[in-house]
Structure 1
Amino acid sequence: MTLALPYICLAAAALVTTLALTPLAKKIAVRLGAVDYPSKRRINTKPTPRLGGLAIFAGLFVACALQIFGTLNWGWPSALIPHPSMEINYPLLGLAFLVVFATGAADDIFQLTPKAKLAGQVIAAVIAATSGLLINVVVNPFASGGEVSLGLLAYPITIVYLVAYTNIINLIDGLDGLACGISAIAACSMFSFAILGGRADAAALSIALVGACLGFLRYNFHPASIFMGDSGSLLLGFALGSISLLNVTRTAALTTLIIPLLVAGVPIIDTFSAIIRRMRAHVSIGQADKGHIHHRLIEEGYDQRQAVILIYLWCILLNLGAAAINQVEVQWRIVIFIALLALSAGFAMRLHLFEPVLRHHYNPKTQQDEIVTPEDPGFADEVEAEREQHEKIRSKLDIRNRKQPRN
């Protein structure tokens, strides 16, 4: 119980802080105009504040401050001790978290361009890599002495990894409580891996993340009174990516690197299928659509709560598989991974995740080009409206042509 007490306190501190500050975050969001209004792509039917990441960030900050205070005054084990193979500059890593949160908050308030938002994420990832959060050597378990030294490539690989992890949570944030719940499940798994591996820094951060997510879920589960916004989704993705790297050493086995991919398997599948879907539709991979997992489940007839719970269960299945992989030999790791991959592929095919969306139109309200699927409730109406508009244009042209004098 003594060993568990610090982690219980960290989770409780993050949970209580996030619970207490989320109503304040709502008021700040409304005052700053950080509000999501209903649209064709959005599920919400009423204006909803979207600066919930402010409360989540505060929860993590208070938990980190409590960890330092507990270490200095209560004899808690220090969480600021990296693995012997790593040298982490924790203040610099904390700065990276601040930068990614600030980037998301700025997007929530000012609607940054995609390039500006990506630049903020890259800067945060560069700072994290500079802090020492790197994997320098990858070991191939199938080759004797098969070590691959990444050298300077460790930096760009780490940066791409963190930016990718940051965005997979952002992309799946489409239903009430979805991204927050998935992050809590992933953080629980990462906490167990950290405890088994003796990684105090990863354990402290992951359990604080669990507390913050559960505290925010009180307001974010359907019907949500506040969204986490990019300030929350980017922060959660970046935190999970950082924890996954803290959980490994500078020299990591190839099969070990599978574990963080399984933990975030559902968001990864959703992101990968979105890329394939948009490529098949011959549109930009950055173009938003309504073909994500949560959209497909809603189209299948599930309500928001049911769809979110089904995705939670899918995540739990993959996380249990990751836990099993962490405890078995290499051969069984591959068997489990292939089995989970096959099951996930079956789910993805059943939901038609790889089928391209077929139509897009300009929305005068949002002043953006939006892609929709034939299953959308308003799809038939849009087709009819477009047909009528084309008929009007054709009639005007015919009248104009008749009025022109013939030579």
Structure 2
Amino acid sequence: MRIYLLLAAIAGGVTYLVTPLIRHIAIEIGAVGEVRARDVHTIPTPRLGGLGMLIGFAVAMVFASHLPFLSGLFANNHQPWVVLAGAVMISLLGMADDLWDLDWMLKLAGQLLISVFVAWGGLQIISLPLGSLVTASPSLSMAITAILIVASINAVNFVDGLDGLSSGIVAIGGIAFAIYSYIIARSSPSYASLATLIDVALVGICVGFLLHNWHPAKLFMGDSGSMLLGYLITCASIVMTGRLDPATIHASIYLPAFMPILLPILVLFLPVLDMCLAIVRRVSHGQSPMHPDRMHLHHRMLKIGHSVRGAVLILWGWAALIAFGSLTILFFPIGYVLVGMAVAVALLSAATLFPYLKRRLPDIREENAQFAAAKRQGKGGTEGDGGSTDV
């Protein structure tokens, strides 16, 4: 565990140190995000923060390859280098979009090609949760892998709308997933795990960048960063499927504690939910699925009355509830977990709705008072009219 903590610190430290340099480069080359109608920020802010995150991840991976504890993961195994190569390519695609605002279809095609390359390089979903773990055919594995990677990339990209939101959500998911993959690795002769390595490096670069991206942000990660985060957390979940033996492990054992194909959805539940709602909303209005708007979850939080920081913290809370709530099934009876999650849901719901209720309660009281006064006046008028008639 200490080795993984060291690698997380290296990834985070490198990201933190190189990000100011990346900011300077972004300003020099004109990679500065103009304020658009859908944006929350009010002043132009440099982008390309994903480049600093990529450098932090690459340094951590290279450093890990020279550690005795983890060197076996890199010996006669090209998966770590395939993951790193895909990370470089997805970040370069995101940088191109940050600089030249690529057409969404071109960007989607690039994401799909990179995902197919990674799957072709050996990073594939090798099993499906169909009652029992069933080994998929190579072509089906590649297709599922590519679709899963592209979906996760765009889910994180969709939710990247407030300072620190996407990096915090991915870091929370990465921590939960790292714990799970570490537990799985402990059942093997060696505790070394490529999935855990990717996760801890991912958490490190998120934290390192978050120190510069907390509101008000000095730098945005841009598509080069959001796409990288979605890619890496999905790669970690795919790598982990290699530790599950379809011949000896039944799916019922792992389904309550993250089936690998469900992991990205669970740890990225909010981004995936936001993406699905956005696609349905836009298609129902006859728009492109990638048409920008101000109806994302974080926009709705701001409309309720939350500050940027408050909205981010509450959305982090929901992400932690889903990720860690699922993880606790490994350690506690499901009844206790459900009770704890119910209490957490109640508290988070109250925190989510507090600004709206705070604003609306005085209005509701005033409306009730006006209604009561009108009702009393109505009764008084009726009695007076009756008295005049008697006279």
1:57 matched to 2:51? The reply is no
Kindly indicate whether the alpha-carbon contact (under 8 Å) linking 1:79 and 1:204 is maintained by their aligned counterparts in 2: no
Determine if the alignment matches structure 1 residue 100 to structure 2 residue 90: yes
Distance 2:158 2:118 in 1: 22
Deviation at 1:117, TM superposition (A): 1.2
Residue 33 of structure 1 corresponds to: 30
Q: Residues 55-94 of structure 1 correspond to what in structure 2 (within 5 A)?
A: 55-69=52-66, 71=67, 75-78=68-71, 80=73, 89-94=79-84
Aligned to 1:263: 267
**Deviation of 1:314 (Å):** 0.3
- Structure 1's unaligned 5+ residue stretches are 352-407
Counterparts of 2:134 and 2:184, CA distance in 1: 23
- Give the structure 2 partner of residue 248 of structure 1: 241
**Per-residue deviation, 1:305:** 0.2
Structure 1 residues 219 and 79: CA distance shift in structure 2, 3 A: farther
Does residue 117 of the first structure (1) align with residue 107 of the second (2)? yes
The answer (yes or no) to whether the contact 1:43–1:175 under 8 Å persists in 2 is: yes
Matched, 1:150 2:154: no
Partner Cα distance (1:6, 1:148) in 2: 34
**Residue 213 (structure 1) aligned with residue 206 (structure 2):** yes
Change (3 A) 1:27 1:291: same
Could you report, residue by residue, the CA deviation over 1:247-297 in whole angstroms, capped at 9, with x for unpaired residues? 223657383143331111111111111122223333222211111010000
- Does the CA contact (< 8 Å) of 1:16 and 1:215 recur in 2? yes
User: Counterpart amino acid of 1:239?
Assistant: L
Distance 1:273 1:58, change over 3 A: same
Q: For this pair of structures, how many residues does the alignment match?
A: 328
In structure 2, stretches of 5+ residues that fail to align are 186-191, 354-391
Listed one character per residue, the Cα deviations across residues 177-204 of structure 1 (whole Å, up to 9, x for unaligned) are: 1011111111111110111011611111
Contact kept, 8 Å, 1:81 with 1:201, in 2: the verdict is no
> Which amino acid is 1:188 matched to?
I
Paired letter, 2:102: L
CA contact (8 A) 2:213 2:219 kept: yes
3-state SS of paired residue (2:102): coil
1:51–1:231 Cα contact (<8 Å) kept: yes
1:233 Cα offset (Å)? 0.4
SS in 2 for 1:78: helix
Q: What residue number does 1:392 align with?
A: none
Q: For 1:108 and 1:208, how far apart are their aligned partners in 2?
A: 24
Look up the equivalent residue of 2:117 and give its one-letter code: I
**1:137–1:76 CA distance, 2 compared to 1 (3 A):** closer
Greater mean deviation of Cα atoms: 197-206 or 250-259: 250-259
Using structure 1 for the length normalisation, give the TM-score: 0.74
Give 1:319's match in structure 2, choosing from 323, 331, 340: 323
Structural mapping, 1:5-404, within 5 Å: 5-69=2-66, 71=67, 75-78=68-71, 80=73, 89-141=79-131, 146=132, 148-151=134-137, 152-198=139-185, 200-249=193-242, 253=251, 255=255, 256-257=259-260, 258-326=262-330
Letter matched to residue 4 of structure 2 = Y
By percentage of residues, which structure has more helix? Answer: 2
Tell me the secondary structure at the aligned position of residue 76 of structure 1: helix
The answer to which structure, 1 or 2, has the higher relative contact order (CA under 8 A, 6+ apart) is 2
Q: Could you tell me how far apart the structure 1 residues matched to 2:318 and 2:162 are?
A: 15
CA contact (8 A) 1:259 1:325 kept: no
Kindly tell me: are residues 192 and 140 of structure 1, through their superposed partners in 2, closer, same or farther at Cα, counting changes over 3 Å? Answer: same
Larger radius of gyration: 2
Between stretches 161-170 and 269-278, larger displacement belongs to 269-278
Identity %: 34
2:122 is paired with a residue of what secondary structure? coil
Task: Measure the CA separation in 1 of the matches of 2:324 and 2:84.
Answer: 30
Say whether the 8 Å CA contact 2:11–2:205 is kept in structure 1.
yes
C-alpha contact (below 8 Å) 2:174/2:202 kept by paired residues? yes
Confirm or deny: 8 A CA contact 1:176 1:220 kept in the other structure.
yes
Provide the TM-score with structure 2 as the length reference.
Answer: 0.77
C-alpha distance in 2, partners of 1:222/1:301?
A: 17
Question: Structure 1 residues 244, 78: CA separation in 2 closer, same or farther (over 3 Å shift)?
Answer: same
